[in-house]
Structure 1
Amino acid sequence: MNKWTLAVLYAATVCGISSIYAPQPLLPVLAAHFGVTEATTSLVVTATMLPLGLAPLAYGFFLDAVPAKPLIAVSLALLACCTACLCLAPDFTWFLADRVAMGLLVPALLTALMTYLATTASAATLRRVMAVYIAVTVFGGFFGRFFSGLSAQFLGWRIPFACLAVCLGVCAALCTLLPPDGRAAFSPIRLAHAPQVLRKPGFAAAYLVVGLLFFVFSGMLNLLPFRLGRLEGGYSPLRAGAMYSGYLMGIIACLTSHRFARPLGGPTRTMALGAGLVIAAVAVFSLPSQAALFCSVFVLCSGMFLAHSVAPGVLNGAEKEHKGLVNGLYISFYYSGGALGAYLPGFALDRYGFGAAAGMLALAAVAATLVAARLDVRAFSGDAAAK
């Protein structure tokens, strides 16, 4: 796989991930513009994230015969159209419906991108290519948030979506020039094997850990612009976008986590450490200071991606037969937790105040840490020994 192909695929990944998170720093602006509550506005993130929790399993039934290359181009083109339509939404209902449509397209795009990379890269470069892909997805999460806050500050909330639509369209055109992918179609996911996978020692617990952690992660980052507005200095789109700078710690965590796993005593202990850092992040996030808010994102992303970067390896290393299903379940638990986290803490904030929202996040973080700590002692021991 040449450098030009990788550059196009990684650019498409950044644009696709950015389309999920671009509205997040603009939630107070959107709430004021459309005249809806904070909790209702949070649905624009949930609406796009929820299909990501369901699609890895549901898509397996009808993507069996779809080659990766055309699916990438078509998904990008449709996503560009939907993103452009956000600028024209006459009311919140239309805006939310458009975000739901985007949520149905993003899983197809990301599934196709991962499949293309996995089947086109050589065996010698596959691990490096996929490691960079994960780092690129993290960068896309930061870039979408920061760029939307920066451009909205000076040009209005519609401009970020218009620019992103153009970028998605350019990526769609470039992807039509890619060489054919190495495999003709996707491998179907057999849901009949799901109970067998979930019954394996430690699997359900590991899935629960990542779901809870992404619940906290999404909840904190969704609450961030509203929390910012309640602190001295106030809210602005640019200030909110800059607050997500800590997201870049995720890139460092993803690329270095495996170096920490051995001295920490193994990957499951690394997951427990990551979960513990998430508890600390919620505590710092709760302090009434913009400086604390800024620092909390660095701690949150360090912990979240420390756990996230090692968890798939633990699960794949312990399951030899149904790797597609293992990864499909992982993504489903991950994004289902994120979809709930994007809405429920905002609902608590709207009804009961910040203390209730922060308490919900803290409980989820503590639960994730306790479950992860049990993994250290009881789970994967036979598989780890065999390995």
Structure 2
Amino acid sequence: MLRQPRTVWSVAFACVISFMGIGLVDPILKPIADELGAGPSEVSLLFTSYMAVMGVAMLGTGWVSSRIGAKWTLAAGLVLIITGSALAGMQDGVAGIVAFRALWGLGNALFIATALATIVKAASGSVAQAIILYEAALGVGIAAGPLLGGWLGSISWRLPFFGVAVLMAIALVATLITLPNEREQRRPTPLSAPLKALRDPGLLTVGITALLYNFGFFTLLAFTPFALEMGAQQIGLIFFGWGALLALASVFVAPWVQRQIGTFAGIVSALSCFAMVLVVMGAFVDNRAVLAVGVVIAGAFLGVNNTLITEAVMKVSDAERGTASAAYSFVRFTGGAIAPWLAGVLGEYALDLPFWVGAGAVLAGVAVLFTARQRLRALDGEVEPVGSVTEAEAVTFGDA
């Protein structure tokens, strides 16, 4: 799996930098709130605007990439991320940061909707191996982001935004240099295709499950820094542990779990364990040690879930993979955009409330997933070589 062409490593590097943007913001949420006089619900809008725009934009990513190709779609996404992050760092109010995080979300939609497509097309091995490689890049980026964010954020909350802009500029140069210009004839994808794909009950079920799981995910990601009440560097180290465990679980634990108990049971087990972690964090919300350990342990369960659910969405629908993935991402991200804001609002009433609601939502997602259990159980054993997936068919939807 590690013997890959230069194109694969170039895109994987860009993925690492892109996903650093998720954890990079975590350590500076409280410093932003303190310096700009904002509450958790206001600062959490940094995630809400980002997610909402990214979710809606997912409907059009296939339309764009099928017309201008993967290389220029990746480049356009990177340019928008660079612009959005740099301008966000220049703002003097939360509203301005939220607005430019929305631009960042648009760029990230174009980027992540094309990244796995390129890796799957160029990689050696199976589709499952390409997904694991992609999830490894995701995990490394998520793990490194809080470290960089904590270090830069301890100097100024603006520096992490500028850091993302610089790193993405490096990724942009690498992408333009290493990715070849495409010569294959493209098949234009209509804008309506993702919405039509949601008629598939299996795809819709997995999408709703992911939407509900986002309530727990963003309680952990967007609200826990307020409950911890620590400095940027301390929070950065805690979320580094979370991201590192997520990366290891994505690459090494998820395939083992899938072989032992199957895709469906693996997802159910991972989400159920994640919900239990949130319950413990809610019960001991005043104990910083419990919260810190809970964040790190949650990374393992999220890593397993991410890999298995990504592979499931690529197989559960009869629609083309790119179309199915865009539809799934639309439901997941657009609906999940309310999750970070809701966690902030609930946390202003009681610190433990977001954790209880998040746990309940994750368990509701598990219940929804059971309605598609037969279809998901049938996925195991469906192994396809990477070459059988065209670039237009493989669109992803990572937790960025």
TM-score when scaled to structure 1?
A: 0.87
> Which residue matches 1:370?
367
Q: Judging changes above 3 Å, is the alpha-carbon distance between structure 1 residues 372 and 64 closer, same or farther for their aligned structure 2 residues?
A: closer
1:170 aligned to 2:170?
Answer: yes
Hey, what's the Cα distance between the residues in 1 that align with 2:187 and 2:10? 21
> Which residue matches 1:304?
302
1:241 aligned to 2:236?
Answer: yes
1:277 to 265, 268, 273: 273
Check whether the contact 1:24–1:45 (CA below 8 A) recurs between aligned residues.
no
Hey, what's the Cα distance between the residues in 2 that align with 1:192 and 1:77? 26
> Which residue matches 1:251?
247
Structure 1 range deviating more: 138-147 or 309-318? 309-318
Unaligned runs of 5+ in 2: 384-400
Check whether the contact 2:205–2:368 (CA below 8 A) recurs between aligned residues.
yes
Check whether the contact 1:31–1:38 (CA below 8 A) recurs between aligned residues.
yes
Hey, what's the Cα distance between the residues in 2 that align with 1:115 and 1:223? 32
1:72 to 71, 74, 79: 74
> Which residue matches 1:224?
224
RMSD: 2.7
1:6 aligned to 2:8?
Answer: yes
Deviations 1:31-77 (CA, angstroms, capped at 9, x unpaired): 12222221001111221122222222133344431122133234323
Deviations 1:129-167 (CA, angstroms, capped at 9, x unpaired): 4321121112212222221012222x2222222222211
Deviations 1:161-208 (CA, angstroms, capped at 9, x unpaired): 2222211112212222124255565752563574565443x4432222
Amino acid paired to 1:177: I
Check whether the contact 1:209–1:369 (CA below 8 A) recurs between aligned residues.
yes
Hey, what's the Cα distance between the residues in 2 that align with 1:78 and 1:291? 38
1:208 aligned to 2:208?
Answer: yes
Q: Judging changes above 3 Å, is the alpha-carbon distance between structure 1 residues 189 and 384 closer, same or farther for their aligned structure 2 residues?
A: farther
Hey, what's the Cα distance between the residues in 2 that align with 1:364 and 1:143? 28
> Which residue matches 2:317?
319
> Which residue matches 1:161?
161
> Which residue matches 1:180?
180
Structure 1 range deviating more: 9-18 or 318-327? 318-327
Q: CA deviation at 1:312?
A: 3.3
Hey, what's the Cα distance between the residues in 2 that align with 1:186 and 1:35? 50
Amino acid paired to 2:274: V
Q: CA deviation at 1:374?
A: 4.8
Q: Judging changes above 3 Å, is the alpha-carbon distance between structure 1 residues 131 and 187 closer, same or farther for their aligned structure 2 residues?
A: farther
Q: Judging changes above 3 Å, is the alpha-carbon distance between structure 1 residues 312 and 165 closer, same or farther for their aligned structure 2 residues?
A: closer
2:355 to 351, 358, 363: 358
Hey, what's the Cα distance between the residues in 2 that align with 1:17 and 1:386? 29
Q: Judging changes above 3 Å, is the alpha-carbon distance between structure 1 residues 321 and 70 closer, same or farther for their aligned structure 2 residues?
A: closer
Hey, what's the Cα distance between the residues in 1 that align with 2:315 and 2:38? 46
Check whether the contact 1:271–1:310 (CA below 8 A) recurs between aligned residues.
yes
Hey, what's the Cα distance between the residues in 2 that align with 1:137 and 1:385? 25
Q: CA deviation at 1:225?
A: 0.9
Q: CA deviation at 1:384?
A: 6.5
> Which residue matches 1:232?
none
Check whether the contact 1:269–1:372 (CA below 8 A) recurs between aligned residues.
no
> Which residue matches 2:344?
346
Secondary structure at 2:277 match in 1: helix
Hey, what's the Cα distance between the residues in 2 that align with 1:271 and 1:311? 7
> Which residue matches 1:81?
83
Check whether the contact 1:312–1:330 (CA below 8 A) recurs between aligned residues.
no
Hey, what's the Cα distance between the residues in 2 that align with 1:23 and 1:139? 16
> Which residue matches 1:136?
137
Hey, what's the Cα distance between the residues in 2 that align with 1:162 and 1:384? 44
Q: CA deviation at 1:317?
A: 3.1
Hey, what's the Cα distance between the residues in 2 that align with 1:383 and 1:75? 32
Q: Judging changes above 3 Å, is the alpha-carbon distance between structure 1 residues 189 and 330 closer, same or farther for their aligned structure 2 residues?
A: farther
> Which residue matches 1:110?
112
Q: CA deviation at 1:339?
A: 2.2
Q: Judging changes above 3 Å, is the alpha-carbon distance between structure 1 residues 163 and 198 closer, same or farther for their aligned structure 2 residues?
A: same
Q: Judging changes above 3 Å, is the alpha-carbon distance between structure 1 residues 71 and 239 closer, same or farther for their aligned structure 2 residues?
A: same
Check whether the contact 2:8–2:118 (CA below 8 A) recurs between aligned residues.
no
Check whether the contact 2:71–2:180 (CA below 8 A) recurs between aligned residues.
yes
Q: CA deviation at 1:18?
A: 2.0
Higher relative contact order (CA 8 A, sep 6+): 2
Hey, what's the Cα distance between the residues in 1 that align with 2:179 and 2:242? 36
> Which residue matches 2:147?
146
Amino acid paired to 1:261: Q
Deviations 1:343-362 (CA, angstroms, capped at 9, x unpaired): 11111112x22232222112
Secondary structure at 2:45 match in 1: helix
Secondary structure at 1:354 match in 2: coil
Q: CA deviation at 1:224?
A: 1.1
> Which residue matches 2:333?
335
> Which residue matches 1:30?
32
Hey, what's the Cα distance between the residues in 1 that align with 2:360 and 2:29? 25
Secondary structure at 2:68 match in 1: coil
Q: CA deviation at 1:284?
A: 2.4
Check whether the contact 1:9–1:113 (CA below 8 A) recurs between aligned residues.
yes
Amino acid paired to 2:170: V
Percent sequence identity is 18
> Which residue matches 2:391?
none
Check whether the contact 1:75–1:109 (CA below 8 A) recurs between aligned residues.
yes
